[in-house]
Amino acid sequence: MLSSKQLVQVVFDRYCKPRLKDLEDPFGTQEKVLRKILRRAKDTVFGKQHCFSDIKSVEDFKRLVPVTTYDYMQPYVARVIQGEENILFPEKTMCMLVTSGTTGSPKLYPFSEYRVREIIFSVFEATAFYVVFSGNYDVMEGKRLSFPAPPSLGEKIGEYDVAFYSGALTVAPIPPELQKLIEGRADRRVPPRDIDKILDWDKKFYLTARYAVAADVRSTAGVTSNTVSLLRKISTQYLDRLLADPELDKETKSRLRDVSPDGVINLQELWPKFSVVTSSGVSLTPYKRIIRKLVGDADIREHYVATEGELGGQVFMDKGMIPNVSRIFFEFIADDEEDAVPIPLSDVKLRTHYRVLITTLGGFYRYDIGDLVEFTDTQTPVFTVISRKKSIVSLAGERLSEEIILRVLERACEQHGIGFIDFALLPEISEDVIRYHLFIEFTKLPEDLEEFTSIVDKRLGAANIHYAAQRQANVLHLPVIIPVQPGGFEALLQKMDKVIGQTKVPRRLTPELSRLIPILK
């Protein structure tokens, strides 16, 4: 059996080095990836209807395949649900993935066996990249804390189980060549996989915590909002319950007492070798400060993962997220230009907001995923997610993005020496007033809420000239900030019947949703 260090090195040499080679010529790699995708899908129903066999160039592809959305793809998805095969991809459908509905109605996507294989390779590669480039081989000797969605939501669409992305991966088969490498090794993840199946929110959180406090946890990975909720619950909510739990061993209880002198579990003392957080699914901005407070100076690795695909991640220690040029063909549309046409990765510019189109081996073709990104480097391409397209709000032409609001709140909180957990906004438009209501769950309330509101208003103006102009013209009025009770957004999600694994707070509220949030009086 290979040692941890040998395993990482084999994965790096065998699978990561070709990815590095691809990054030496990312634009040439993109053309090869497109040809591979079209070749695999040319005999599918979608491929035949869009003449994949006749496509000889990127220009042919753009001419024969329109930019697609879920509405365009839905009839093809419906045929998969009815039991037809070879519709969007040639492989067997494993299950139907459902989105969280964060920015609209939930959507269903067929999940192919080939895509599962690609994802699992991506996970192994991401681990090897981090360990080799950081030199942190020690992380492989401990446990990885995980909190995925259930592998099945207990319902079927046609003959297929319905699952969230993270849940479907927990039961996906490991490719044989990787299985051979890890043969005989103990599972690094905690809790055991049977905990993944639990649908009861509170029960799953607690049982995960019970396994975690007894383990040598050295890393965590998953949807960032889930991870932070779990770590906060372990630290601040479960101590008495754990100490009274007959299923928890005496040695672990003794350690918990030692690291909790003030009734709060100090996670840095509980897990002294904890060193890595892998973040995905939501913007990292509001969570970074909380993560640092809970687990200290761990490496935070950001990955760009959506139900539609694994779009990018950190490869090098000194760079941000790099597009997954080896597996996805990307196109970008400048969001602030009318009638802008899609451009390839080779033509993107700095400081421009782009909509993202993806073409994948998983059955998405020129698909607009609804995200806005911005490039910080175009040589070895590096990008950052600005916001979901539908998370942009514009009451008077100001077009405030989720990322702008997040950064403004972060800096306003820093100025007041406090932090925040999450936020949502409710637009108010009437004959008398146009303004934002910002619901914010603070880690500690501002001493002067009026002053804090003024700072947020000024910083929004500094970050967005259109907001500043509309405020100066008194078209937009001063925002209203509404403090949310601790745990208020979690309560909202439970009232919305969100299940475990999908704890993304809807950024733009309806009046009905706003009334479900417990607020501080």
**pLDDT score, position 503:** 56
Looking at residue 389, what is its pLDDT?
Answer: 58
Q: Tell me how far CA of residue 48 lies from CA of 25, 55, 200, 364, 472, in angstroms.
A: 31, 11, 44, 15, 56
The domain ranges of the chain are 4-305, 392-514
Burial class (CB in 10 A: 0-12, 13-18, 19+), 318: exposed
Q: Which residues of the chain have pLDDT under 50?
A: 102-104, 501
The pTM is what?
0.81
Alpha helices in 186-333 (DSSP H): 201-213, 224-236, 239-243, 250-258, 267-270, 285-295
Sign (positive or negative) of CA dihedral 100, 102, 106, 109: negative
Tokens of 429: 């438009």
The pLDDT score that the predictor gives to residue 286 is: 64
340's CB contacts (< 8 A; 6+ apart) are 333, 334
- Strand 420-429 to strand 329-334: parallel, antiparallel, or no bridges (unpaired)? unpaired
Number of C-beta neighbours around residue 178 at 10 A = 17
pLDDT tens digits, 307-334: 888 899 999 998 889 999 999 999 999 9
Note the pLDDT of residue 89. 96
Give percent of the chain with pLDDT exceeding 90. Answer: 57
Q: What is the DSSP letter of 253?
A: H
The Cα-based distances of 252 to 17, 31, 216, 227, 363 in angstroms read: 42, 54, 11, 22, 47
Report the CATH number of the 392-514 domain. 3.30.300
Q: Where are the beta strands (DSSP E) in 367-418?
A: 367-377, 382-388
Pairing of strands 382-388, 367-377: antiparallel
Map tokens 């869009």 to a residue. 50
DSSP structure class, residue 393: B
3-state secondary structure of 30: helix
What pLDDT does 288 receive?
81
